[in-house]
Every structure is written in C-alpha cells, then in structure tokens.
Amino acid sequence: MNGVPTKGKVVLVTGANRGIGKALAIKALELGASKVYATARDVLKLAELTAIDSDRVVALELDVTNQRQVNAAAAAAGDVEIIINNAGMGTGALLLAENVVENSKLEMEANFFGPMRMGVAFAPILKANGGGAMVNILSVAGLINFPFAPTYSCSKAAGHSLTQGQRTVMAEQNTLVCGVYPGPIDTDMTAGMAMGDKGSPEEVATSVFEGIANGEEDIFSDTFAIGFAKGLKADPKGIEKSIAAQFQTVR
Ligand SMILES: NC(=O)c1ccc[n+]([C@@H]2O[C@H](COP(=O)([O-])OP(=O)(O)OC[C@H]3O[C@@H](n4cnc5c(N)ncnc54)[C@H](OP(=O)(O)O)[C@@H]3O)[C@@H](O)[C@H]2O)c1
C-alpha cells in the first residue's frame, strides 16, 4: 500500500485534548495538514489546540464509546483523509480482582469497540476521499500481556487483531491501515508509574506521521518499542517470560 503524506491532507485525531493525541494534532499542523479535526469528550479542553491555528483546527465532541457521537463526527467530517484512533484508557484492574470484568469492559469499550465503531463510520468516507489512512494507536502491551495492566493488554491485543482485519477489508478501497505500538510514554496515563525512561508524546507523533508517509503497517514508535519489537522477533517466549517476571513487583 502506498504511503500517505500528511501535507495538504485532512486529519482527524480522537482524544486530542492531551497526551499523545494532542502531540499528534500539533504534529499534523506542523506537517502542513490542511485541516485537523481535533476531537475530545469535552470540547472545552481543546481550546489550546484551536488557539494554535483557528483556521485549520476544527474541534468536535467525540466519545468513541458513544455511537451517536461517532455518527455525528462522521457526518461533520466528510472530507477526512487520515483518521487516528488514539483515544484510550486503562483501569489498572488485576486479573483476579472482583471488579475485573466490569473494568475490562470499560477498556474494551474505548480501546477495541471505539476503533471498531470508527472503522464502520469512517471507512466509506475514506473510500470516497481516495483511500487515505486509518491509524490505530495500540501498544506493545497488546503483543505480550503486561502484568501491571493485564486487562488493558487484552483490549490492546483485541485492537491489534481488529487492525489486521480492518487492513484486509479496507485494502480493496486503497486505505492504508496502520497499527502503532508505543512503549511507555510520558503522559497522564503513566504518571506516577516507574517504568524506566519513558518516551515522549512528540516522539510518538513524529514516528506515526513518518510511518504513514512511508506506508508502514506496523509502527514501533519509540526507543523502547523498537527494542521490544526486535526482542519479540528473536525470542517471543523469552520476552513473555521477562515481562511476566514483573508480576512479582505488582502483586
Ligand atoms: N502512555 C503510554 O505509555 C502509552 C503506551 C502505549 C499506548 N498508549 C495509548 O496511546 C493512546 C493515548 O494515551 P495517552 O498516553 O496520551 O493517555 P492520556 O494522556 O491518558 O490520554 C488519553 C486520551 O484518550 C481520551 N479518551 C479516553 N477515553 C475516551 C473515550 N471513550 N472517547 C474519547 N476519548 C477518550 C482521553 O480523554 P479525556 O481527557 O476526556 O479523559 C485523553 O484525551 C491510548 O490509546 C493509549 O492506550 C499509551
């Protein structure tokens, strides 16, 4: 599949009000996107972004767990060419906790059903606009179960499989479908968690747009992620065991 450069394109980012999503929206502007639909559950939290370039930033309310809002966003953004499904959350639930099913459902709603809904609503729009790209922000934690966020890992693993499936069905309409696999990144999501050197949201944003431009299907977006991908290729069971060893420190 051909790469999709950002310059001159219309981009939509979910969860654009903070963290990686905000960095993605800013990077899209820097790279010359003609318009950025910055979406968030609370549009008031997009004020800083719109202030950067009120001509090119369009703020939209979008909770990806809300089908009505997903439909409304699709109706409002009929010119979009690059969709970045970034919105996501983790509950920190542990697998043997009583509330694990409820918390896991919350993660699946945002991290799996969210991008699934977005695919249904936006695939026809991408098709009408020439193909473009759909990009799902997943995680290295979706490739191996991480013991400090096991249900989050499950939701990202489901997102990984969803991404492969969307890639297959959207290939015939010339849409590039990318999975992004960051390692630990310094955002609110990892605040207070000791995870060694965390990557920056800006580093992820740079890798994402380079990856889309180069037509990369799997984007390992930061130093940790690149090392993780190499380890996974060389010794998948070894990586599983070394990540599982962290369980001693979380229980
Ligand atoms: N930080 C990391 O180490 C890391 C590593 C790998 C992957 N990721 C992934 O990267 C993405 C961004 O995470 P982040 O690190 O930037 O986390 P963050 O700072 O906690 O930001 C999460 C963003 O997602 C939004 N969001 C959550 N649920 C939503 C929903 N139902 N509908 C719409 N927006 C929703 C949040 O909106 P509100 O402000 O309204 O809550 C916020 O904008 C997530 O998919 C995350 O899983 C993060």
Mean pLDDT of 106-119: 98
- Kindly report, residue by residue over 124-140, the tens digit of the pLDDT: 999 999 999 999 999 99
Domain annotation covers residue 2: no
Give the model's confidence band at 250: pLDDT under 50 very low, under 70 low, under 90 confident, else very high: low
38 SS3 class: strand
Cα(200)–Cα(229) distance, rounded to whole angstroms? 18
Domain for residue 224, yes or no?
yes
- Which 8-state DSSP code applies to residue 42? S
205 in a structural domain: yes
* Residue 137 · residue 222 · CB < 8 Å: no
Write out pLDDT tens, residues 14-59. 999 999 999 999 999 999 999 999 999 999 999 999 999 999 999 9
Instruction: Give residue 192's pLDDT.
Output: 87
Determine the average pLDDT of the residues in 143-160: 97
CB 13 within 8 A of CB 24: yes
Which ligand 1 atom is at minimum distance from the Cα of 15? 43
Residue 214 pLDDT exceeds 70: yes
For ligand 1, pick from 42, 44, 189, 226 the residue to mutate: most ligand atoms within 8 Å of CB. 189
- Report yes or no on 218 lying in a domain: yes
Pocket lined around ligand 1, Cβ cut-off 6 Å: 14-15, 17-21, 40-42, 62-65, 86-89, 110, 137, 139, 182, 184-185, 187-190
Nearest CA to 170 out of 4, 14, 39 is that of 4
C-alpha pair distances (Å), 169 with each of 97, 164, 206: 37, 9, 27
pLDDT score recorded for residue 247: 66
Tell whether 3 is covered by a domain: no
Give me the pLDDT at residue 169, please: 98
At residue 251, does pLDDT exceed 60? no
Burial class (CB in 10 A: 0-12, 13-18, 19+), 172: exposed
Distance 246 CA to ligand 1 centre (A): 23
Nearest ligand 1 atom, CA 199: 3
Instruction: Report the pLDDT value the prediction gives residue 248, as an integer from 0 to 100.
Output: 61
In a domain, 5, yes or no: no
Are the beta carbons of 173 and 126 closer than 8 angstroms?
yes
Quote the distance between the C-alpha of residue 7 and its chain's center: 20
Q: What is the mean pLDDT of the chain?
A: 96
Q: What pLDDT is stored for residue 249 in this prediction? A: 59
pLDDT at 195 over 90: no
For residue 111, the SS3 value is helix
Judge whether 1 lies within some domain. no
Residue 4 lies in a domain: no
How many residues are listed for the chain in this entry?
A: 251
**Rounded Cα gap, residues 134 and 63, in angstroms:** 18
* pLDDT for the residue 196: 82
Domain that holds residue 14: 10-250
Domain harbouring 230, CATH code = 3.40.50.720
**How large is the average pLDDT for residues 165-187?**
98
Domain count of the fold of the chain: 1
Its pTM stands at 0.98
At 199-213, the pLDDT tens digits run 999 999 999 999 999
Helix or strand (DSSP H, E) at 83:
strand 82-85
